[in-house]
Amino acid sequence: MKITVRDAAVLAIVASHARAALSVDFGSTDSIKAAAKTVAANLMGYYKGDQPGETPGILPGPPPHGAYYWWEGGALWGTIIDYWHYTGDTTYNDETQRSLVFQANSPANNFMPPNWTASLGNDDQGFWGMSAMLAAESNFQNPPEDQPQWLALAQAVFNTQASRWDTKYCAGGLRWQIPLSNNGYNYKNSIANAVFFNIAARLARYTGNSSYADWATKTWDWTVAMGYIDADYNIFDGAHTDFNCTDINRAQFSYTAAAFIQGAGFMYSFTNGAQFWADHLQYLTNRTLEVFFPRGIMKEVACELENLNQCTADMLSYKGYVHRWLASTTLLAPFMHDTIMPVLLSSAKGMAQSCRDDSGTCGFRWDRGGYDGVTGAGQQMNALGALTSLLVQGDKKAPVTNNTGGTSIGDPSAGAGTDVVTEGEEKKISTTDKIVSWVVTGIIAFLCGLWTIFMITDVLEGPRRTWQGPMDDGHGRRNRNGFRLE
């Protein structure tokens, strides 16, 4: 094969792209911190909420006004709190405090601002709640007394969600969406329940109040009983109330597993090492590492396909949560350290290869040995989470409790009576719900029939996919067609 001048130029560019990466000496805490600082600055470039006329706390959105839904702002501040906690860099602390307080929805202070009702899922509210909880556990700067406090905010999220525990269908569980008019109200998904479990477990440990632990255990048991967590510790996306939650969509998303793992870590710590949680923690973590870290590098397997990236803006951000929550688990359940940390390290090395250069712009795919050009706030949170997660330092950085130096002020009844679904609305459901349910059932049956015909006529080629159609994850009221087509 003859190599022309042009080919040579192209090869040189490819080679230089392959070489360029974020330079990090993974043996040096200072080097990791320096890289994190660059990536954090790049991440905060996506945030406009501190500019005149913009809304504090949120990333540009929601679509069509920008790529990001409201919940991802909540996720951003959790990422930044960890960044501060592990590096000591306070640059973004004031904006973080202002943002969490601004979106808390004063005076209800329940993270349910009316602006975002159209995309308000229990998981969305819960992401803000987890960031408030993290602030309490990290002894992050407390807001002035006349403003909502971190612990009370997490309790408000817990209380409003506990009051939504719904036994009418599927013998329990949280629905995905909060307002009954939202698409997805009839879907009970694993992420909404994972986040509730996570917050309950953390409140138990922080406050020492075992009522929270009872709720965590109940939520875990329900998720297992419904088959959302199977015997091999796969965690599936969810199912519909129309089918009493038997039509399980078997797509697996990494952050759901990580939210359960971290919650189980808190339960392990709260119970002083109960065998029940030690066992679940090991099996679930091992399975999660197997599914989402092929060859030791994280991959969002449901949408990050070999030759096609189907991940939505939501899904592009999960890697960072997984790294951070697994790292945090090693502080709560130190016996998991040697299972988790080597994998987080090899994965972070893959991440560094995915960055364009030392400007700290990182791509999405971490297993290609180069930069894929797919950028966004989620990818930056991923990169930052991968770096800060390597800075866990045993007890020194372990989450505090009310008895071990935590200073956040709580309110056990926070959020009570502030929910959007009123009694009157609840009563209205029954008649309309029935009709909607019949229609939906009919449509789904029709589509399932079509699917069977496709299968029989072998129209589909290529690898079998468990999830057909626009990708969704529990955050896409948008393309939601979350029924199982398998």
Ligand X SMILES: *[C@@H]1O[C@H](CO)[C@@H](O)[C@H](O)[C@H]1NC(C)=O
Contact call for residue 115 and ligand X (CB under 6 A): yes
Q: Which of 296, 412, 420, 440 binds ligand X (CB under 6 A)?
A: 412
Contact call for residue 342 and ligand X (CB under 6 A): no
Angstrom distance (rounded) from CA 81 to CA 340: 22
Contact call for residue 407 and ligand X (CB under 6 A): no
Q: Which is nearer to ligand X, 21 or 152 (CB)?
A: 152
Q: Which is nearer to ligand X, 21 or 76 (CB)?
A: 76
Q: Which of 62, 73, 74, 113 binds ligand X (CB under 6 A)?
A: 113
Q: Which is nearer to ligand X, 91 or 402 (CB)?
A: 402
Contact call for residue 66 and ligand X (CB under 6 A): no
| Shortest distance in whole angstroms from residue 64 CB to ligand X | 15
| Shortest distance in whole angstroms from residue 251 CB to ligand X | 21
Q: Which is nearer to ligand X, 242 or 304 (CB)?
A: 242
Contact call for residue 339 and ligand X (CB under 6 A): yes
| Shortest distance in whole angstroms from residue 170 CB to ligand X | 5
Angstrom distance (rounded) from CA 148 to CA 137: 16
Choices 80-88, 261-269, 279-287, 291-299 (CB under 6 A): range interacting with ligand X: 279-287
How many positions of this chain bind ligand X (CB under 6 A)? 19
| Shortest distance in whole angstroms from residue 401 CB to ligand X | 9
Task: Count CA atoms closer than 13 A to 285's CA, side-chain side.
Answer: 28
Contact call for residue 74 and ligand X (CB under 6 A): no
Contact call for residue 244 and ligand X (CB under 6 A): yes
Contact call for residue 410 and ligand X (CB under 6 A): yes
Angstrom distance (rounded) from CA 93 to CA 8: 48
Contact call for residue 170 and ligand X (CB under 6 A): yes
| Shortest distance in whole angstroms from residue 406 CB to ligand X | 7
Q: Which of 29, 31, 55, 468 binds ligand X (CB under 6 A)?
A: 55
| Shortest distance in whole angstroms from residue 207 CB to ligand X | 4
Contact call for residue 262 and ligand X (CB under 6 A): no
Q: Which of 91, 93, 286, 346 binds ligand X (CB under 6 A)?
A: 286
Q: Which is nearer to ligand X, 335 or 446 (CB)?
A: 335
| Shortest distance in whole angstroms from residue 100 CB to ligand X | 11
Contact call for residue 106 and ligand X (CB under 6 A): no
Q: Which is nearer to ligand X, 29 or 282 (CB)?
A: 282
Q: Which is nearer to ligand X, 4 or 275 (CB)?
A: 275
Contact call for residue 156 and ligand X (CB under 6 A): no
Q: Which is nearer to ligand X, 87 or 161 (CB)?
A: 161
- ∠ Cα 257 196 225 (to 5°): 65
What are residue 189's phi and psi, to 5 degrees?
Answer: -115, 160
Q: Which is nearer to ligand X, 286 or 418 (CB)?
A: 286
SS (H, E, C) the chain: CCCCHHHHHHHHHHHHHHHCCCCCCCCCHHHHHHHHHHHHHHHHCCCCCCCCCCCCCCCCCCCCCCCCCHHHHHHHHHHHHHHHHHHCCCCCHHHHHHHHHHCCCCCCCCCCCHHHHHHCEHHHHHHHHHHHHHHHHCCCCCCCCCCCCHHHHHHHHHHHHHCCCCCCCCCCCCCCECCCCCCCCCEEEHHHHHHHHHHHHHHHHHHCCHHHHHHHHHHHHHHHHCCCECCCCCECCEEEHHHCCCCCECCCCHHHHHHHHHHHHHHHHHCCCCHHHHHHHHHHHHHHHHHHCHHHCCCCCCCEECCEECCCCCHHHHHHHHHHHHHHHHHHCHHHHHHHHHHHHHHHHHHHHCECCCCCCECCCCCCCCCCCCCCHHHHHHHHHHHHHHHCCHHHHCCCCCCCCCCCCCCCCCCCCCCCCCHHHHHHHHHHHHHHHHHHHHHHHHHHHHHHHHHHCCCCCCCCCCCCCCCCCCCCCCCCCCCCCC
- Residue 397 is which amino acid? K
Interaction mask 190-229, ligand X, x per CB under 6 A: -----------------x-x-xx-----------------
Contact call for residue 283 and ligand X (CB under 6 A): yes
Q: Which is nearer to ligand X, 224 or 448 (CB)?
A: 224
Choices 80-88, 278-286, 319-327, 436-444 (CB under 6 A): range interacting with ligand X: 278-286
Q: Which of 171, 443, 445, 450 binds ligand X (CB under 6 A)?
A: 171
Token look-up 């800060």 returns: 388
Residue among 74, 110, 135, 11 at smallest CA distance from 377: 74
N-terminal to C-terminal alpha carbon distance within the chain: 47
| Shortest distance in whole angstroms from residue 368 CB to ligand X | 25
Angstrom distance (rounded) from CA 99 to CA 247: 39
Choices 247-255, 281-289, 423-431, 436-444 (CB under 6 A): range interacting with ligand X: 281-289
Residues that bind ligand X (CB under 6 A): 55, 102-103, 113, 115, 170-171, 207, 209, 211-212, 244, 282-283, 286, 339, 402, 410, 412
